[in-house]
Homo-oligomer: A and B are copies of this chain.
Amino acid sequence: MAPDPFSRVGIVGLGLMGGSLARSLKALPDPPMIRGLTLLDEERDGAMREGVIDEGPIDPRNFFPGLDLVVYGTPLRATLELLDHHRPLLDPSTVITDLASLKAPVLERARALGLEGRYVGSHPMAGSEASGFMASRQGLYEGRRIWLVAEKAALALVGRIKGLWKSVGGECVVTDPWDHDRQMAWVSHLPQVASTALARVLARAGFARDQLGPGGMDMTRLAASNPSMWGDLLRHAPDTLGEALAKTGAAIETMRKLIEEGRIDEVEELMRDTGAWSEGNPWR
């Protein structure tokens, strides 16, 4: 039997992630009622006008009553602060999730607030360098991996959150929040910092972005990501990020030396090894 779907959903933050979830849910054959909460008038007005949310109360006290599910689509730091502020306003049966890309800090906060029994954290691998409601779109989660984390006390709710994501095309995998965050340091934070570093070097050397080829464009796209969202994540980044960055700096230095010493056969060998890794995956 399919898990009981959520019929009254509240989404806090209607930016790229929250706005896209609202759009995707509203496109379902039997969409839930959606209530949005945002500090930005243009997000609320846009979402109301486009029918992406049904209600957009300004006062948080009018947001929480009667919700089955609250989704925090806010940046990590805001999510942690809002959980504190909203704790007294939550209905006792409301399930809670969030979309932040680090999971240990939110689960720790949920436990500190006595919410661990109804908190299932989500991390959709579906970001983009764009942000804001204007960048949101139906289908953002289609085919995307969604990491889910929960304490034992909330395991019974995981099926319902899986159902939510499945309905908008996501593919859920349950994981351990600390393992998850260490993995993100490598697969998400490291590429972000590398893109910023590369873009910085090119900008300082006097190049404009339209002087790059398509490959260089790919490599500097992430550099346009939201700085304060990333600041939040980097404040909570696990130590392993330092290791990942040090190894990347060392790998660039290794290649610099090989090239400078004319040891190009070794560079080709290294590219063949690494290229096999890249090509091994069909999702290119």
Query: Could you list which residues of chain A lie within 8 angstroms of chain B, going by C-beta atoms?
Result: 125-129, 183, 186-188, 190-205, 207-225, 227-228, 230-231, 234-235, 237, 241-242, 244-249, 251-256, 259-260, 262, 264-265, 267-275, 277-281, 283-284
Contact = CB atoms under 8 A, between A and B. Distances in A.
A281 to B, nearest CB: 4
Contact of A194 (B128, B231, B252, B272): B252
A271 B230 contact: yes
A217 to B, nearest CB: 7
Contact of A279 (B217, B224, B247): B224
A192 B209 contact: no
A283 to B, nearest CB: 5
A242 B255 contact: no
Nearest to A222: B215
A203 B186 CA distance: 10
Given A218-B218, A273-B200, A274-B203, A209 B281 contact: yes
A278 B213 CA distance: 14
